[in-house]
Amino acid sequence: QAQLVESGGGLVQTGGSLRLSCAASGGTFSRYAMGWFRQAPGKERAFVAGISWRGHTAYYADSVRGRFTISRDNANNSVYLQMNSLKPEDTAVYYCAAERNPYGLGSRKTDFGSWGQGTQVTVAS
């Protein structure tokens, strides 16, 4: 299983931007789709964005489509989430995750087998 470490969270004003990074180690990163999830206080962990193993396909939750962009760098075992036009409702702990199956392309929590520890994103109104 891959080990995943997120970074880049913080406090930002409404309308601002943040870029989250996730560094992977201990697995064959380039064979697996990657995803970002988020969990707000009192809510279930929810899918935000995913990217296929080669990076050719990206998919998003409706709530972030057009504002967030997921990307990956297989040479550096990293995945990123560029977040623009942030809103207070984007406040959550953001988690990076690796798909459970090689070459898979999931968006459910159960599709992902490795998780990072999370990074807090707070959007002030």
**Strand, coil or helix: 85:** coil
pLDDT confidence of 2, banded at 50, 70, 90? confident
User: pLDDT class for 1, splitting at 50, 70, 90?
Assistant: confident
Q: Is 82 exposed, middle or buried (0-12, 13-18, 19+ CB in 10 A)?
A: middle
Instruction: Please report the pLDDT score of residue 17 as a whole number.
Output: 98
Q: Are 25 and 32 in contact (CB under 8 A)?
A: no
Examine the pLDDT at 60 and tell me if it is beyond 90.
yes
Q: What is Dmax (Cα atoms) for the chain?
A: 40
Alpha helices by DSSP H, listed for the chain, are none
pLDDT digits (tens, 9 = 90+) for 64-118: 999 999 999 999 999 999 999 999 999 999 999 999 988 888 899 999 999 999 9
Task: Count the alpha carbons within 13 Å of 7 in the hemisphere toward its beta carbon.
Answer: 4
Q: Write out pLDDT tens, residues 8-53.
A: 999 999 999 999 999 999 878 889 999 999 999 999 999 999 999 9
pLDDT of residue 101: 87
- Per the document, the length of the chain is 125
